Amino acid sequence: MSRIVVFGAGGRAGRQVVTEASGRGHDVTAVVRDPAQHAAPDGVELVAGDVTDPAAVAALVKDQDAVISAAAVYGEGTDPHAFFTESARALVAAAPARLVVVGIASLAADASGQAWMDAPGFPAEFRPFSAAHAAGLAVLRDSEVNWLYVSPAGDFDHSAGRTGAYRVAPHGNPADRISYADFAIALVDEALNGRHQRQHVVISGA
């Protein structure tokens, strides 16, 4: 049994990660901003925490075997660039044994090697949010921790359930879809097995 802490445990990806990891019998700590607004599976410790607070992150990461961050912000009144850079810095400073960060598909390279966000026709309104994610990824790349940045190859299928299968795709594909539950399988596998290290991998439905 491994000890895993999940930041952003109240979001769609985070909830599935908590369910997947706890279902495998691991000791899971689920971190959310307000525990009163969330529920967790039996046996999961639900705690309050801010992934941009270095002291809070360090305390929560201590003695954990792996850290999965599915935390994100989006929408009016938020500063994605500040959030993704500050959270990345806090996670890196905590020096986790293994860090897996949920990313965004627009940073993945297509078959030509070009990132989707840099391709002609990419929606201009989505570019600042993608650039904010890229800034967070840059923090990981500049660190010395054992990190992995994982994104869907395309987008999530919000209505699909768990099939129990996924594949590591060779490149991003905007048309590709994967369920949150299957994506969570990949995240937990990578957190525990460390097959890929210090890179961005994209996950596709099988």
Q: Quick: pLDDT tens for 177-201.
A: 999 999 999 999 999 998 999 999 9
Would you call 188 helix, strand, or coil by DSSP? helix
Would the pLDDT of 138 be above 90? yes
Residue 77 is predicted with a pLDDT of 79
The pLDDT-based confidence of 76 (bands split at 50, 70, 90) is confident
Q: Would you say 145 and 187 are in contact if contact means Cβ atoms under 8 Å apart?
A: no
pLDDT band, residue 75 (cuts 50/70/90) = confident
**What is the tally of structural domains in the chain?**
1
SS3 for 202?
strand
Quote the pLDDT of residue 78.
87
Q: Which domain holds residue 171?
A: 3-205
Q: What is the pLDDT of residue 61?
A: 98
The CATH code of the domain that includes 15 is 3.40.50.720
Q: Which residues contact 206 (CB under 8 A, 6 or more apart)?
A: 163, 165, 166, 167, 182
Give me the pLDDT at residue 1, please.
87
Mean pLDDT, residues 45-70: 98
Q: Does the pLDDT at position 139 exceed 80?
A: yes
Q: Give me the mean pLDDT over the 60-85 stretch.
A: 94
Res 74: pLDDT: 79
Residue closest to 65 by CA, chosen among 21, 2, 147, 149: 2
Contact 131, 77 (CB under 8 A): no
State the pLDDT at residue 24. Answer: 97
Average pLDDT, the chain: 96
Average pLDDT of the segment spanning 1-17? 97
Residue 1, burial from CB neighbour count under 10 angstroms (0-12, 13-18, 19+): exposed
Average pLDDT over residues 158-166: 95
In this structure, are residues 202 and 183 in contact, taking their beta carbons and an 8 Å threshold?
no
Contact 172, 110 (CB under 8 A): yes
